[in-house]
Structure 1
Amino acid sequence: MEAPIKKTTGKPRQRAWRPKTHSGCKTCKIRRVKCDEEKPQCKRCRSTGRTCDGYDPAFRAPVPPSSLSQVPPQSRIIRDLTRSQSPIYLASALRLETREERESFEFFISHAISSLRGFLDSPFWQREVLQAAHREPAIKHCVFALGAMYRRFFEGKGSHLTESDMSDKNLQFALRQSNHAIQNLVKEQAPGGAASGKDTVTMLTCCILFSSMCCLQGYQKRAILHLRSGIRMINEYESEKTEQHPIDIESLRTIFVGLDMQVRGILPTYMSPTWVAKPKTEEFLITPSSNLSMESLLAVLRYMESLLNHIFAFLQRSCLRPVEESDNVYSEYIDLITRFHRGAIVLGPLWKQAPAFGDEYIQPLVSLELLQCQMEYLLRDPRSDMVAKFPFLADFTPAREPFTTSFDATAHFERIFNLSTKLLPSSASVTPVFTTALGPTSALWLTALRAPSSCQALRKCAVQSMISHPRREGFWDGMIAGQIAQEALKLEQERTRVRLGIMDDTTGDLIVPEDLRIIAVFMTHPEDQDRMAKVEFSDTNDLAIGVPGKVQWLSW
């Protein structure tokens, strides 16, 4: 067994707390933007596709952590922090019985939600979960737990909590709240184990919240188990119109599709047949004539995430399918190309409308374009071993309808990297971020592992960007991904030197032959260890004989 890869961490920074506006609708107050105060709903909210929460003289924005009463200085949350400009919908009259509950809930509102939602608004995180916490005790306790856990994570330096963090009082409180949530779920279960439609929605919501807590703690295997249970439940769920729940079932489907997409992106190919079926979704319809609003961007996001999920599933299946199924593989491939083009022609017109809104939609549009770039690469330049089995998978590398130009891998990965860096803070010393949405991490991983050999400097920059930013995007741990990618590049250089007979490693980076490129990285967890993983690195030759080229044990 080789020594574990050394963990690299970033360094937190402090930023200035800025007060909210004191007039206007509740939504504009939270977003710290000027409200036109039009009644009953302000024009600014309506024009950007947001829900205007109306006007309430008694409304009070979330209290900055530095003003929490009765909290000793040494235990206060890091002071002076900039809040998200996205709308956050508050749960009304939630009963907070202890100081710990109040602090955790306020931190969840003021810090966690703005990160959990990703780069676009999320009805699930910004409104529905808070409303459900008011009505469902299990969800309330999960929110308390996630708020306390995120608070400890936020004060740290890494992309996940460590074993030494577990004695922290916030985490101990979080674990107690998690137990309360489980007890409430068991208590509410109907006799015989059957759950009503309302109770099923509560359990589905708790699956997402429990999975998020496991991801924060670095318990990847447990997080995947919660997700698997949730996907099975939602695929069996039949809506019961008579039972109302604050959580919309389509919001849950959207979250599950996004998380399923993340797992499929890191799941070893040989394990894909044992994974659950994709979450059932309605067909997403998008039109090129859409006006730019948060609502239209969310529709594009749902469309793209569903498509990317199908692309991952297709590529995994195709690796395991025999050549005799070429006709079926080709038919599925053409369908994915068609669906990709349908989404691509929608994004362009939305970009053209962006200047009229200033910077309002720049970051959401960048995140959507980044998703689009990743999908185009996966469809137009698949892995070499797949093209060897199904040559038609390279049919769209040259210019061919619907693509008007040949695929330029170098230019494409430069574009992916540039878009990724626009979504990262400008400084490498940043506060840790945890989100359930896919962001720049998977794109940087793709750049590090799949950019052409001639782009060695670009690949190393992608690795450094992952390592230097303590960022976790659901099941993607950015710093750990950076360490694994760094090992892959190192292995490629070692193998190239051996082939060329170069013993001196001071010659600089070499151009790696295609057959020595690491094209597959498989990570599996031992049965008895949740903070350790076996990482298998394979090039084309390794895959051909079915034996990994190198095995590295990673612990955190």
Structure 2
Amino acid sequence: MANITESKKVAIKRTRAHGKHSRKGCGTCKIRRVKCDETRPICQRCMKFGVKCDGYLPDGPGQRHENRTQPTSGYLSTPLDAAIALLELPNTYSFDSEDESQYFSLFRDKTIFQIIPYFDQTPFRTLILQACDIPSIRHAVIAIGALDKTCMTVNDQRALCFDRHTINPNSHHQNAIKEYTKAIRIMKEEVASGQPSLRTTLLTCLMIVCFEYFHGNYRLADAQIHNGIALVDNWRRSFPYAHQHPLGFSSPAPDIVEDQLIQVFGQLEVQSLCFAGDPRTPAMHWQLRNEGTAIIRNMPECFDNIYDAKIYQALILRRLQHWQFCIGANYSPPISRDMDEEKEVWGATSCVDHSDLRQLSPESGSTVSDRAAQHRFHLEEFHHWKYCFDNFLRKNPEQKNTLATALLELCFMTTNLHLSTALAGDATIYDQFTEQFIQIVDHCEKTLVLLHKKSDQKVVFTFDSGTILPLYFTALSCRVPKIRRRAIGVLLAWPRREGVSDSLFAGRSAEWIVGIEEENMEDGYVPGWARVKYVGTSFSLLNRRAELVCNQPILTPNGKSTRERRQIITW
């Protein structure tokens, strides 16, 4: 096996055309980082691409706008930052009512910054706002803004409960449903009238995912994620150099579909793999696990900026998740089904069923020794990323206390602990990592404080995963009462949704599991035999109600046994 920490690496040359960038090009081409033909008053390249041309800045002193490969700020942008960075996006859209105009303005000035808060994502935000020229996307954006207004008006986290089966007195919520319905109708009409471009289809898909995430309908959101990923993957594989552009890392043709859009779907795949399972075979996962090997092997010793660090980390996480699927690991964490769907079973002590990891997997053909070697490889790969990231922080000390750095370090801590214990086959392995669990909770609190410092109002929904999974993992896996209760306390004290995860649901379900385990606690310690292994969940996030079921280990005169426990929780 090649050692990925070899000191000398040759950079992968990306096969894409780069023209000379003119400083006199239109604002849209500058943001998309493509060569502008400088046709006036409207750039022909923008017309052919199907986006609105922002026009040209006047010539004169101080009008130089340098391009950069990736954003470098780890701070949450503010509307003032956006006004400068987005080069004064046009605001000539036609609205049917004053409400529509206000919801759109709210999305543009606030919502879009809070749902993607951890990194300077100016190019992606610009992409979304420019796409509002498309009526279906514009109405979807208005609907998301109306949902955000609903939360602001009610000023209660139960504003995130949107029950479609009852009449909601909140007029903003009614408007959100109306605008979303209008967006879906227009989307269907666009498809019926002619095949929309891949870019438009992906943007439409993304807006549906965002609305359904915000609204709590994860089944529909997950279906859209899989549709989008399939479209991206099929398109990507049509290029002869597709191996240089693994899913979620980069676009093989950024003049057709931008890097930022491809990267967002890569992040969505990571979330979907964590929560909703995956229908692909172990053999397919094995192929996906190997995607990007050369790119990771040639990872720069020091990242150019923090966004590059994020993209490389996401690629490593995706490869790791596909490996866990192909060896038979059972991913089924809690948030994936409505109550009228089949029940899900997930490992209460871990996101992975440890017993599966010790068995042979005929489809992947790997043995226990093979898995041990693969396990070491993925650990080494992840630690090499940390080495490169530490080099970046030493070179850029101003980034050490940023929100983006806190999130990347939190992801590393949690994944490293999870991966380090993956082959143990015994949940008592976590008892050796008490200090690491403390660090995870500390880092989650730090991340949440940084997040809310950058926003005037509480952030109740973000598109990316952040602190919920690490806190939930700690509450279930660490058996030190004080630490696991502290993790639960943070989940409940900061109500929010992060992608597919809900902090209140995670906190309430963890409370129940902890209570069951501690019924058999001895001198402040939960013995190995008393630890709950599986928990079944069936729930409706729209109604904020769930049924939990588990088999509690017990001791009887005849030896060890189990008894079924059930609980209805609401939040």
What is the TM-score with the length of structure 1 in the denominator?
0.68
Q: CA deviation at 1:86?
A: 11
**What is the SS of the residue equivalent to 1:189?**
helix
Alignment of 1:163-242 (within 5 A): 163=163, 166-189=168-191, 195-196=195-196, 198=197, 200-238=198-236
Q: CA deviation at 1:475?
A: 0.4
Counterparts of 1:468 and 1:491, CA distance in 2:
22
One-letter code aligned to 1:289: E
Match of 1:470 in 2: 495
Q: CA deviation at 1:308?
A: 5.2
Gaps of 5+ in 1: 1-24, 28-36, 52-60, 64-82, 389-393, 398-406, 501-508
Counterparts of 2:550 and 2:223, CA distance in 1:
25
Cα distance change on mapping 1:166 and 1:212 into 2, 3 Å: farther
Cα distance change on mapping 1:294 and 1:369 into 2, 3 Å: closer
Match of 1:66 in 2: none
Cα distance change on mapping 1:38 and 1:299 into 2, 3 Å: farther
Cα distance change on mapping 1:62 and 1:415 into 2, 3 Å: closer
Match of 1:256 in 2: 265
1:219–1:531 CA contact under 8 A, matched in 2: no
Counterparts of 2:152 and 2:548, CA distance in 1:
28
Q: CA deviation at 1:416?
A: 0.9
Match of 2:12 in 1: none
**What is the SS of the residue equivalent to 2:157?**
coil
Match of 1:536 in 2: 549
Counterparts of 2:116 and 2:105, CA distance in 1:
16
1:534–1:553 CA contact under 8 A, matched in 2: yes
2:535–2:550 CA contact under 8 A, matched in 1: yes
Cα distance change on mapping 1:279 and 1:385 into 2, 3 Å: closer
Q: CA deviation at 1:260?
A: 2.9
Match of 1:504 in 2: none
Cα distance change on mapping 1:521 and 1:118 into 2, 3 Å: farther
- Larger mean Cα displacement after TM superposition, 122-131 or 374-383: 122-131
Match of 1:133 in 2: 132
One of 305, 323, 327 as aligned partner of 2:360: 323
Q: CA deviation at 1:492?
A: 0.9
Cα distance change on mapping 1:273 and 1:350 into 2, 3 Å: same
One-letter code aligned to 2:434: T
Q: CA deviation at 1:309?
A: 3.6
Match of 1:489 in 2: 514
After superposition, the C-alpha distances for 1:348-390 in whole angstroms (9 at most, x for unaligned) are 11221332x377x6221111011111111111112754789xx
One of 368, 392, 400 as aligned partner of 1:350: 392
One-letter code aligned to 2:161: L
Counterparts of 1:539 and 1:87, CA distance in 2:
55
Counterparts of 1:240 and 1:176, CA distance in 2:
38
1:105–1:144 CA contact under 8 A, matched in 2: yes
One-letter code aligned to 2:151: F
Match of 1:506 in 2: none
- Larger mean Cα displacement after TM superposition, 438-447 or 407-416: 407-416
Counterparts of 1:532 and 1:482, CA distance in 2:
13
Counterparts of 2:273 and 2:70, CA distance in 1:
36
Counterparts of 2:203 and 2:289, CA distance in 1:
15
**What is the SS of the residue equivalent to 1:166?**
coil
Q: CA RMSD in A?
A: 4.4
1:288–1:345 CA contact under 8 A, matched in 2: no
Alignment of 1:241-280 (within 5 A): 248-267=257-276
1:362 paired to 2:402 = yes
Q: CA deviation at 1:291?
A: 4.9
**What is the SS of the residue equivalent to 1:370?**
helix
Cα distance change on mapping 1:279 and 1:332 into 2, 3 Å: closer
One of 547, 550, 554 as aligned partner of 2:565: 550
After superposition, the C-alpha distances for 1:397-434 in whole angstroms (9 at most, x for unaligned) are 9xxxxxxxxx9501111111111111113899972421
Aligned residues: 452
1:431–1:470 CA contact under 8 A, matched in 2: no
Gaps of 5+ in 2: 1-26, 31-60, 240-251, 332-351, 362-366
1:235–1:280 CA contact under 8 A, matched in 2: no
- Larger mean Cα displacement after TM superposition, 532-541 or 292-301: 532-541
- Larger mean Cα displacement after TM superposition, 286-295 or 337-346: 286-295
Alignment of 1:392-541 (within 5 A): 408-425=432-449, 431-451=458-478, 453=479, 455-494=480-519, 496=520, 510-525=524-539, 532-537=545-550
2:213–2:500 CA contact under 8 A, matched in 1: yes
Q: CA deviation at 1:41?
A: 2.4
Counterparts of 1:235 and 1:336, CA distance in 2:
23
Percentage of identical aligned residues: 18
- Larger mean Cα displacement after TM superposition, 513-522 or 277-286: 277-286
Counterparts of 2:510 and 2:89, CA distance in 1:
42
Counterparts of 2:457 and 2:465, CA distance in 1:
19
Counterparts of 1:39 and 1:380, CA distance in 2:
52
One-letter code aligned to 2:203: T
Match of 2:348 in 1: none
After superposition, the C-alpha distances for 1:310-344 in whole angstroms (9 at most, x for unaligned) are 36535337845733643453343233223212212
Match of 1:161 in 2: 161
Q: CA deviation at 1:534?
A: 3.5
Alignment of 1:8-19 (within 5 A): none
Alignment of 1:287-326 (within 5 A): 287-291=299-303, 293-307=305-319, 309-310=321-322, 313=325, 315-316=329-330, 319=353, 320=356, 322-323=359-360, 325-326=367-368
Q: CA deviation at 1:265?
A: 2.7
2:71–2:120 CA contact under 8 A, matched in 1: no
Match of 2:110 in 1: 111
